[in-house]
A and B are shown apart, each in its own frame.
Chain A
């Protein structure tokens, strides 16, 4: 019996020839990523237990992003604890404010994510990095602490679910719409504990950046990891960023899947996931007259340069609707710089959007666009749980950058296809 890409990577990193779903294995980690919310508690645990060491400083990448630039005194203290730890251990791979960004945008962008690697971070959206054929998953602070200290973690080998995305995407339909449809079909725990492997002609056609949006939201279906078999596009993306060696693993044709789900994406329309679950997707054109107070374009889901280009294309030469505010947050400093070069920041600003530097910010109700009770936001982010972006009385509607930009122009949920 063959193995899936996920099983092959886990086997190779646990000193085995094969692994089977359900087996407990201790996995060697290639990259341990750290941010400003879940890492300070991990550091405190290690110090408290007399374990304040790092397994390999070169394999630890530290990217503060959630509440930096510091949003208040307490978050300033978190960021300071992180910085002091970095200094104490001489960690070179540290991204200070001004060169940082949302960690899941920066990590692949700067060549840390390679096919075949194992990656963890104290953040649920770590599943993003599977788009390059890595095994990448989110953990809590205790796991993070154990990983920093020992360079390994226990894992139960997940069963794999295969998503075959066939057909081709119509105009105005993007990978965000695809993943919202996947989650609508299987539910927010439809892939609980499982590897979500995305295959098929639609995936082949997607750019690498657009693929990150698919794997990013694997956690929103309960998945342990999202993963895509590397192809030429993957290799080109990676080789333009690093000279390091890597091993490409791909699923065997006779690999075993707990389920194979086929989706014809040709019929897909721009989607909006209604409050308060990512699985509440409906076609944007059926929305009716849903008045929107705020539009948010950014995050680890849709804050990459291609996302900003799509939004800018719709907003170019226009003004957003009166009574609606639009907040644009480039996903990283590099994305911000590129958007500046291409004139996108000017397009946004001329349309009366508020453009900030990179941060997780309001995506998780941190700052820079928190919602009041009764307010509605169309957001290109990944979660629309109760209170996710602010007051428990606010509402978040998830959508693609195109749908978000179109909505900013009209002030009500809008199908972007007429504006392209």
Chain B
């Protein structure tokens, strides 16, 4: 996958910021997407083109278990979140949705806002096309890819 990096190099970006509770009265992805990341960056949705990538610091997605956070981000056009680390429930939700998440400790040094990134999930490689630099990460375990290929956790367990 390839997309432009939107860098929010802060730790502990929480799900209340990603999709505030005032919008949890719906679970419609398109409606949620209108408010993605609103309490961090009011212009977020306007900036995003389909395929773009969020780049963030440690503990991305901490707090509430709301899967609406994944849906809002995905609905806004984001194809992948690259973070130094993820909070547990957000990470699980991403895997269960087959939504790509990449944990990479060195990103703050190698990615700047607006860089064009190419991500190879299976191989564990981020190519920064803008700078020509390549970084590695540990790919998700096989079972996460199996869930993604099945179309999500529910499809993978359907009897």
Residues of A at under 8 Å CB distance from B?
Answer: 24, 37-38, 40-41, 44-46, 49-51, 66-67, 71-72, 74-75, 78, 122-124, 126, 138-143, 145-146, 149-150, 154, 188-189, 192-193, 219, 222, 224, 277, 364-366, 383, 385-388, 392
Q: Which of B9-45 contact A (CB under 8 A)?
A: 11-12, 14, 16-17, 20-22, 24-27, 39-40
B78-89 interface code vs A (CB 8 A; 1 in, 0 out): 000000010111
Which residues of chain B come closer than 8 Å to A78, judged between CB atoms? 25, 27
- Give the contacting residue for B154; candidates A45, A124, A126, A139; CB below 8 A: A45
Are the C-beta atoms of A142 and B153 separated by less than 8 Å? yes
> Is B50 an interface position by the 8 A CB rule?
no
Are the C-beta atoms of A37 and B67 separated by less than 8 Å? no
Are the C-beta atoms of B59 and A122 separated by less than 8 Å? no
Are the C-beta atoms of B59 and A188 separated by less than 8 Å? yes
Measured in the bound complex, the distance between the Cα atoms of B93 and A74 in whole Å is 24
Task: Pick from B62, B97, B153 the residue with the most CB of A within 10 Å.
Answer: B62
CB contacts between A and B, total, < 8 Å = 127
Q: In the complex where A51-B158, A74-B26, A146-B157 touch, is A124 in contact with B65 (Cβ < 8 A)?
A: yes
Residues of B at under 8 Å CB distance from A?
Answer: 11-12, 14, 16-17, 20-22, 24-27, 39-40, 58-59, 62-68, 70, 85, 87-89, 92-93, 96-97, 141, 143, 152-155, 157-158
Are the C-beta atoms of B16 and A192 separated by less than 8 Å? no
Q: In the complex where A41-B27, A143-B96, A149-B154 touch, is A386 in contact with B85 (Cβ < 8 A)?
A: no
Measured in the bound complex, the distance between the Cα atoms of B39 and A387 in whole Å is 7
Measured in the bound complex, the distance between the Cα atoms of B11 and A66 in whole Å is 27
Shortest CB–CB separation between residue A201 and chain B, in angstroms? 30
Q: In the complex where A41-B27, A189-B85 touch, is A142 in contact with B93 (Cβ < 8 A)?
A: yes
Are the C-beta atoms of A38 and B143 separated by less than 8 Å? no
Are the C-beta atoms of A222 and B65 separated by less than 8 Å? no
Measured in the bound complex, the distance between the Cα atoms of B153 and A49 in whole Å is 11
- Give the contacting residue for A192; candidates B87, B92, B153; CB below 8 A: B87
Are the C-beta atoms of B17 and A189 separated by less than 8 Å? no
Which residues of chain B come closer than 8 Å to A192, judged between CB atoms? 59, 85, 87-88
Measured in the bound complex, the distance between the Cα atoms of B27 and A145 in whole Å is 14
Measured in the bound complex, the distance between the Cα atoms of B58 and A61 in whole Å is 35
Which residues of chain A come closer than 8 Å to B157, judged between CB atoms? 146, 149-150
